[in-house]
Chains A and B, each alone.
Chain A
Amino acid sequence: MAVDQLSTTFAALADPTRRAILARLAEGEATVNQLAEPFPITVQAVSKHLKVLERAGLIMRGRSAQLRPSRLHGEALKEAADWLARYRRFWEDRFDRLDEHLRELQRRPGDA
C-alpha cells in the first residue's frame, strides 16, 4: 500500500507543471483560478493536474464546491524525499570512501 502511494507520488512529481503548482502552493493555499494564472494552460488543465496531485496525497483541497482552495500536504512529499535521500546516502557513502582513498593515495605517492 505504502509502495503504491510512493509510486503515485513519484509519477505526480514527474511533471514540471505539477511541480510548479506545488512550488506555488508552498507559498500558501490557492484556488484553481489563482493557480492557472501564471501558466499558459487552461483552468481545466490545471484542474486535471490538481486531481493527480490530490490522488498522490500531495495536496488537500477545501470542500467548498465553488473555490476548493488547494494546499500542500507534506506527508507524501516527505516519503518521496526520504526514498531519494536513502538512495543519495548510498552514493554519499561511496564518495566518502573515494575521498578517503584519494587522500591516502597522496600521502603515499609510491603506492599510486
Chain B
Amino acid sequence: MPETATAQVITITRILDAPRELVWRAWTEPEQLARWWGTRGWSTPPERITMEVRPGGSFRLTSVCDEDGRTMATEAVYLEVVEPERLSFSEAPREDCHEGAVGTVSLTALGDGRTEMVFHSTIQTTGELGGNAQAGLERAFDRLAEHLS
C-alpha cells in the first residue's frame, strides 16, 4: 500500500464565559497555558513552555505525566498571529501521533462578556501513524478509566 498521507479535519466550537482578551492570554502566556493544557493526569509546567507568539515563532512545550513522570513534547511553529482574534500553528510530526497538524483558533467576542472559540485542526496521518495514535489514545483512555474506577 502506498504511504499516502491524508488529511482529516476536526472543528470544535466552544462558548467560553470569559472576555476575548482573557481567552487570548490563556492561549499565549505560558503561566496561563500551563493551567489547562494537556489531558487530565498530565501537567505542563510554565518553565517547560516556550512561546514566541509571532508568525514563524516557536511554540514548544513538554507535558509530564503526574503518575510516572513520563514526558510528551509538542513542537509547533506559529503561522498566523492576529491579536486577539486568530492564532494558528503548525505542529511538527509526532512519532506516536500524526504526520503534522495545523491548528487554528478563532476568537469572537459575543458582546456580553462571553467569547466564541472555534478550533479547527487539519491532521495529516499515514495509516501506520494513525493506527499508533489510535492505540496510544486508547491506552490513555484505558489508564484514565482505571484511574477513575
Report A's interface with B, CB cutoff 8 A. 2-4, 6-8, 10-11, 13-14, 83-84, 86-88, 90-95, 97-103, 105-106, 112
Contacts and interface: CB of A to CB of B under 8 A. Distances in A.
A6 B6 CA distance: 11
B28 interface: no
Interface of A, helix, strand, loop or mixed by DSSP: helix
B interface SS class: mixed
B138 A86 contact: yes
Given A8-B1, A101-B35, A93 B8 contact: no
B137 A99 contact: no
Interface of B: 1, 4, 6-8, 10, 12, 14, 16-18, 22-23, 26, 32, 35-40, 117, 119, 121, 123, 125-128, 130-131, 133-134, 137-138, 141
Contacts of A93: 39-40
A91 B121 contact: yes
A94 B39 contact: yes
B39 A10 contact: no
A8 B127 contact: yes
Contacts of A97: 35-38, 40
B133 A4 contact: no
A95 to B, nearest CB: 5
A88 B131 CA distance: 15
Contacts of B1: 4, 7-8
A7 B127 CA distance: 4
